[in-house]
Every structure is written in C-alpha cells, then in structure tokens.
Amino acid sequence: MSKLRFRVVETAFKKRPVEVAVPKERPSEYFAKYVFNKEKMFRYLPSKVYAKLIDVIDNGAPLDRSIADEVAAGMKKWATEMGATHYTHWFHPLTEGTAEKHDAFVEHDGKGGMMEEFTGKLLVQQEPDASSFPNGGIRNTFEARGYSAWDPSSPAFIVDDTLCIPTIFVAYTGESLDYKAPLLKALRAVDKAAVEVCHYFDPEVKKVYAYLGWEQEYFLVDEGLYAARPDLLMTGRTLTGHDSAKNQQLEDHYFGAIPPRVAAFMKDLEIEALKLGIPVKTRHNEVAPNQFELAPIFEECNLAVDHNMLIMALMRKVARNHGFRVLLHEKPFKGVNGSGKHNNWSLGTDTGVLLHAPGKTPEENLRFITFVVNTLMAVYRHNGLLKASISSATNAHRLGANEAPPAIISSFLGKQLSQVLDHIEESTKDELISLSGKQGMKLDIPQIPELMIDNTDRNRTSPFAFTGNRFEFRAVGSEANCASAMIALNSALAEQLAEFKKDVDELIEKGEPKISAILDVVRRYIKICKPIHFDGNGYSDEWKAEAARRGLDCETSVPVIFDNYLKPESIAMFEATGVMTKKELEARNEVKWEMYTKKIQIEARVLGDLAMNHIIPVATQYQSELIDNVYKMKGLFPAEKAEKLSAKNLELIEEIANRTAFIKEHVDAMIEARKVANKIECEREKAIAYHDTIVPAMEEIRYHIDKLELIVDNQMWTLPKYRELLFIR
Ligand code: ADP
Ligand code: MG
C-alpha cells in the first residue's frame, strides 16, 4: 500500500514546469478575444440593433424582444467563426459553481438535413430541465420548470467549443433560484437609492455603480498526491494529517519567489483569463506554503462576480494541464492559513467615485462622509446578516481561527477617518450650522477638505476594513460565490440610503438648510453605529467579549447564523428593496441548511472510511510488527533484559491499541449519531444536529489519527503527509 505513496511522491518531486504557449500578440491584443463585447457587437450587429443593445447594457433600458433575433444572429455568426459549435445558458445555481447544458447550434432544416440555428428566442429564454437544482421547496417535482433568462449586462463568451450566455435562473412562478437574479435586483436598488442621495450634492448624477475587486486565494497540490488522498478528492480538504515540522512559521512563503512549476501555471491561467476578458493583474505567494493569490482590476459588480465564477472554473482546468489540482476550499489544511476571497467593494457614479477621499471640494468630501457613514450604518444594522451571507460549512473552519476575521462583523476605519468622524460627532449642532456657511453649500470643516485617507493604514484582522477608496469585505470564503455577500451588502445599503434620504428630507421640510440637515443626520448616525467601529485586534479574546457587550452578533454555529436571513428586519429590508421575498428567503435557507448537512455528512463518511480502511489497518499492522519484535527479544535475551529493552515498544503497542480502539468506538458512535440526525425532518434542526454532534466527533477522531501518524512507521502510512502535500511544487 505504501508503495503508492512513495511512487506518487517521487513522481511529483521530479515534475518540471510545463512549457506555456505564449501568444505572439501582446496581452492588449488578445484581451477579450473570446468575449462578445461591445467591439464585436459593433462589428456583428446592425447599427440600430447595436444602439438599442448598448442602451440596455449601459442604461438598464428594458430589453426590446424585437432585437433579440438579430442579436442572436450576430452572436452566432461571431461564435461559429470562432469555432464554437454549441451554446449554453450559463447560470449560478444555489449549489456551488456554475451550471450549463450544452446544445448544438444545429437544427433540422425540414428537408432531411441540418442547419445551424440560433434564434432570439433561444438566446433570451430557456427552460432547463432543472428539477435537480436545489430550490428549497419552491418548485416541487411536478412543476420542475425553471427559466433561464439572458442577462445582457454580462457579455457572452466562448469556452472551448461552447458559446456561454450568462443568464439568471428563476422558477416558473418567478422566484429566483440562483445568485444572479437577486444580485441584479440589489445592484439596481443601490443604484436607485444612491443616485437620490447623490442629488443632494450633484443633480447631474444619473447612475451609481457598485464595484467589486476580488482577491482569490487558493492552494495548489500535485495531482498525484491529491489522488492518493480520498479526503481531498471527495471533500476538498484533508480530514486528517498532522502538522509538518515546518509549515508557515518562518513566513518565508509570503511574497517569496514563485516556484517555477507554479509560475508556469499562473502564466497559462492569466493568458486564458485575459482571452476571456478577465482583467487579471496581481499574483503572488500567500502566507501558507503552496498557497497563492490572484486578483484582477476591479469591475462593475455583476461582471466581477461572473468573472470570479469563470476564473474558478478556469483555474481547475488549467491546473490539470500542469499536473496540479487547485484547492479552493477555505481550509484544506489544519494548522496553516486557510483561503479567503477579499471582496473589495466601492460605489461610483457615472461622473466619479464615491468612496474616495480627498475630494476636490468640501461638498465632495461631505458626500464621501455621507456614503461612508451610511455604509457603516447598513453594516451595523445587518451585521448578523452579513455574517450569514459569508457563512458556510467550509468557511466555518476559517472564520474565528487565528488567521482570518473572527466570526463577528466589525469595521476598521483607520486613524484619520476615525478622527474625522469623531470631529463631526463631537461638534454641536450650532457649530455645524455655522460651519455650513451662508449658501448652505459651502462647508467649512477644516478636517474634511484636507482628508488624506492613507490606504497603507491596514488592519488585517478586520472583516470589513476601509482601505482608502473602498471597503474590503475580508470574511468572504475562497470557494464562495461573491454574489451572496454582494447581495446582502448592496441591499442593506440601498435600504439605509433610502432611510437617510427620508431623514434628511424631513429636516429640510422643517426649514433646515440642506447641508446642515445632512450633517445633522450624519452626526446622529455616527453615534448610532458606533458599536460596529473597531480598529483593534479582531483576533483577541477581549474583542469577543467586547463585541458581545456592544450587541454585535457573536453566534458561531453556522446553521444558527443562517437564521439571520429570516429575522423580521432582514425580511423587511429585502422586501423593501425588492431584492427577495419572504418566500424566497425561506426557500434559500432550506437550501443552505441542506447543503450544510450534506457537506458534513460526506466528510463524516469519508473520515469513517479513512479510519477503518487506512488508519486502523496500517496502525494494527505496525503494532503486529512491534509485538513480533517483543516476542523475538524474549528469545534473544534473558527475560529481565528483554523486558527492559522492549519497554518502549510495549508502550507504543499499548498506545496504538488505545488509540485504534478509541477511533473505532467513535466512528461507530458517529454513524449512530448520523442515523439519529438523518431522521430529523426539519432541515434547520438537522443541520444543527450535524453541527452539534457530528462536527465535534470528527475532531476527536482526527486527533487520535494524527497522533497515530506520528508513531506509525512512515513506510507504511498510506496517505501523503502534510510535508509532501504542502512542500512539493
Ligand atoms: P491588497 O492585497 O493590498 O488588498 P490587491 O492589489 O491584492 O490588494 O487587491 C486589491 C483589489 O482591490 C484589486 O482587485 C483592485 O482592483 C481592487 N480595488 C482597488 N480599488 C477599488 C475600488 N475603488 N473599488 C473596488 N475595488 C477596488
Ligand atoms: Mg486585500
């Protein structure tokens, strides 16, 4: 058995970088080669159709069905010229990843032959037989129909031989069954609410965009080693494995030289990403050995989310060409850092950015403060919900561990911004009115025009940190669909901005000058949302106690954290902004609980298998050798001396006996506990049972397995060890 381990280790060790086919053109020339972007639309569509489509894309004008046929024809012409033979509606179901069903462009021509066909109808809407996608009971099996509908704001693209058309996915009855539909609604809601607030400062603003720049962390593991680890193969993480003697203590990996085999992978990935129009820019090593990061230039949120889904698929594919497997799991290895996906988020108008300081004028600076404070209010009011939006069975391993944001949402502002907010808060109402000057627009708060927000002022322990021109939502998991966090954040802000407008208008109606009314409300908000502001060490135990005193959500059980979606204030917020209905929220939570249970269930089964089929047999085999040795010693030496010489082996024999007995008993008990949990009908209760009984059982079993790994003969151990998984590259 152990032969396999040594063979894969040896092979992995000998591998050399794969030669990357670098295009002859410059990146700017092959960028978006496989994307039906505006440039191709211009070339392949009649000018009238092009103009109408651009209006849909840029201004959110309703899609005129009459142009669909012509768009489809142009798209098909381009795609077939590029060698595509199939097309698919590409969507983000509530599971992970993306879904696609490929159809060939061919249709019967009615004369016994075939012709290439792609109509507007096929472009705009399809009915994937989607009964097996999770829907939380919205669609019962008799009404399995769901619609996928074209999202023209995210351009179609070609992967291999298939034209992929980004779509939303909704039930026959209209409820969303995916991430994109509510995301588009949330982006529209925040656009609408933010434009209204912008009008206090600049009546010319027509549109507010939410931007997202994600930073994708990941691990690479040699594929031979990966294949020899059933746990990696089935669950994406190692369920057993003792720390290697060296891991990340020396911090010699972060920003270090990129190993050549990895560099080849990155280069290849970047070329493919650029061809798909993903503006990748940054790559570097991360903290843990074999951990890396990739980040593009930020984009409009909906497009950025699509691009992140696409890049995760691309990474998996390209990694295989280089003899690697990419691990996107949030915590593939115990004892070394996990992977996150920082979501850098900001707002900008069609005329400029909103979260950027310093502005050119005092008004711009007040606008900046207004948006910062409303963001803090939204995060404060919905801190539990935001945590729910990034919670999952897999991210649970990372949050709260001493490396990632704690399972408490708070916001870091840095010294300068904190001082500005303190100043506004402390100034009296009269002071503020006099500061706002005669015309009501001339604001003269000395600190504000000179805002120099230093983005090197960093606090890596904060889950939601202000970093100069954006907020960085760091708690998002590496495997997650960013849409989940972006839906919660943008909807919460949309609600908040609408309330802000109401509050300010009320004061204006009472005769208060506009600027003074804005300052008044901002000042009040700064006081209210104070508990969310924390610039200290988010990893410390003191913070946990302090956060609880401040009334922030400190729950750590993921199935219970999901309850935040169904709190009255969350339902009210999602309904007021038109993003999701109560029914949709309930259904989605059913899916979340079910997914949670299934993940843990699979892990528990795999761990049981490993324990019974790998660990116990190998430990027992080694133990037999030791026993054999003890008996043989008795033949060689006088009894007393033999006993003395065998003392250590006797200890080991006993330790192995104790640990294997413990493992066996606990694996049996875990199976029984699963049987009990599986009988529970309510998905929420079932997930809680899995969290409360199965997760701790797995930890206990693992503890003893990892101890055995340290004493059993290395030659016999079947599973590649951490030192092999993490250091061979
Ligand atoms: P760091 O590791 O220091 O956080 P990176 O350069 O790795 O920084 O990533 C920063 C990410 O933030 C990039 O994707 C970048 O495009 C994005 N970003 C920069 N400015 C903004 C902004 N105003 N809004 C949204 N994202 C932004
Ligand atoms: Mg970052």
Domains within the chain, CATH numbers bracketed? 31-178 (3.10.20.70), 188-236+255-431+465-557 (3.30.590.10), 596-725 (1.20.120.1560)
Helix 482-509 vs helix 568-576: crossing angle, to nearest 10:
80
pLDDT of residue 436: 37
Ligand 1 pocket mutation pick from 298, 343, 486 by most atoms within 8 angstroms of CB: 298
Is 606's pLDDT higher than 50? yes
Give the ligand with the smallest distance to the CA of 284: 1
Planar angle of CA 214, 220, 224, nearest 5 degrees: 150
pLDDT reading at 441 higher than 60: no
Say yes or no to pLDDT of 3 above 90.
Answer: no
- Is the pLDDT at 434 greater than 80, yes or no? no
Residue 215 has what pLDDT? 97
Alpha carbons within 13 A on the beta-carbon side of 217: 27
pLDDT of res. 432: 44
Nearest CA to ligand 1 atom 2: 215
> Atom of ligand 1 at shortest distance to CA of 293?
7
Q: How far apart are CA 163 and CA 606, in angstroms?
A: 37
Closest-lying ligand 1 atom to the alpha carbon of residue 342: 4
Q: 16 alpha carbon to ligand 1 midpoint, in Å?
A: 33
Find the angle CA(641)-CA(646)-CA(651) to the nearest 5 degrees: 140
- What is the pLDDT, as a whole number, of residue 446? 41
- What is the per-residue pLDDT for 26? 93
Nearest C-alpha to atom 14 of ligand 1 is from which residue?
A: 213
Amino acid at 505: D
Please state, in angstroms and rounded to a whole number, the distance separating the CA atoms of residues 452 and 157: 41
Mean pLDDT, range 290-301, rounded to an integer:
96
The ligand that comes nearest to the alpha carbon of residue 473 is 2
Q: What is the pLDDT of residues 138-185, one digit of tens each?
A: 655 445 578 888 999 999 999 999 999 999 988 878 889 899 999 999
**Among the listed residues 92, 588, 175, the one whose alpha carbon sits nearest the alpha carbon of residue 385:** 588
Atom number of ligand 1 nearest to Cα 296: 14
As a whole number of angstroms, the distance between CA 728 and CA 491 comes to: 44
Residue 480 CA to residue 280 CA, distance in Å, equals 19
Task: With CA atoms as reference, report the closest residue to 166 among 117, 100, 212.
Answer: 100
**Could you read off the pLDDT of 515-530 as tens digits, one per residue?**
889 999 999 999 999 9
Ligand 1 pocket: which of 217, 303, 344, 473 to mutate (most atoms within 8 A of CB) = 344
Per mean pLDDT, which range of 26-30, 96-100, 291-295, 686-690 is the poorest?
96-100
> How many CA atoms lie within 13 Å of 440's alpha carbon, on the beta-carbon side?
11
Encode pLDDT of 324-357 as tens digits: 999 999 999 998 889 999 999 999 998 777 776 6
Residue nearest to atom 24 of ligand 1 (CA): 346
Contact 178, 588 (CB under 8 A): no
Share of the chain above pLDDT 70, in %: 91
Predicted confidence at residue 439, as pLDDT, reads: 33
Which atom of ligand 1 lies nearest, measured to the CA of 345?
25
Distances in whole angstroms, Cα of residue 606 to Cα of each of 2, 379, 678? 19, 38, 17
Distance 455 CA to ligand 2 centre (A): 11
**CB-defined site of ligand 1, < 6 Å:** 211, 213, 215, 282, 295-298, 342, 344-346, 469-470
Ligand nearest to the CA of 295: 1
Q: What is the mean pLDDT of the chain?
A: 90
CA of 283 to the centre of ligand 2 (A): 12
Mean pLDDT of the 72-91 span: 94
What is the CA(696)–ligand 2 centre distance, in A? Answer: 32
Q: Which ligand is nearest to the CA of 347?
A: 1
> How close is the Cα of 360 to the center of ligand 1, in Å?
22
- How far, in Å, from the CA of 249 to the mean position of ligand 1? 27
Comparing 281-285, 463-467, 563-567, 670-674, which segment has the lowest mean pLDDT?
281-285
Q: How far apart are CA 21 and CA 18, in angstroms?
A: 9
Dist. CA 213 → ligand 1 center (Å): 5
Of all ligands present, the nearest one to the C-alpha of 468 is: 1
CA 163/CA 73 separation, integer angstroms: 13
272 burial via Cβ count (<10 Å: 0-12, 13-18, 19+): buried
Choosing from 215, 285, 347 the residue with most ligand 1 atoms within 8 A of its CB, the one to mutate for a pocket test is 215
Q: Give the ligand 1 atom nearest the CA of 346.
A: 24
Cβ–Cβ under 8 Å, residues 110 and 567: no
Percent helix, strand and coil across the chain, each to the nearest 5: 50, 15, 35
Confidence category of residue 708, pLDDT binned at 50, 70, 90: very high
For residues 489 and 463, what is the distance between their CA atoms, to the nearest angstrom? 13
Provide the pLDDT confidence category of residue 618 given band limits of 50, 70 and 90: very high
- Per-residue pLDDT at 691 exceeds 80: yes
Residue 478's Cβ-side half-sphere holds a number of Cα atoms within 13 Å equal to: 28
Q: Number of helices (H) and strands (E), helices first, in the chain?
A: 27, 18
- How remote is the CA of residue 297 from the centroid of ligand 1, in Å? 7
List Cα–Cα distances, 663 to 187, 507, 705, in angstroms: 50, 68, 8
Average pLDDT over residues 364-392: 95
- Asked if residue 483 lies in contact with residue 180, where contact means CB atoms within 8 angstroms, the answer is yes
Question: Could you give the angle at the alpha carbon of 551 between the alpha carbons of 549 and 557, nearest 5°?
Answer: 105
More confident residue, 611 or 444: 611
Of these ranges, 5-14, 16-25, 243-252, 595-604, the one predicted with the greatest mean pLDDT is 595-604
Of the pLDDT bands very low, low, confident and very high (cuts 50, 70, 90), residue 457 is: low
Residue 681 carries which side chain, given as an amino acid letter?
E
Q: What is the mean pLDDT of residues 295-303?
A: 97
Q: How far is CA 413 from CA 298, 346, 630, in A?
A: 21, 14, 65
Tell me how far the alpha carbon of residue 418 lies from the centroid of ligand 2, in angstroms. 20
**pLDDT for residue 135:** 72
pLDDT higher than threshold 60 for residue 563: yes
Round to whole Å and give the CA distance between 25 and 382: 48
Give the number of the atom of ligand 1 that is nearest the alpha carbon of residue 467.
Answer: 4
pLDDT-based confidence at residue 96 (cuts at 50, 70, 90)? confident
From the CA of 344, the nearest ligand is 1
In this predicted structure, what is the pLDDT of residue 122?
Answer: 87
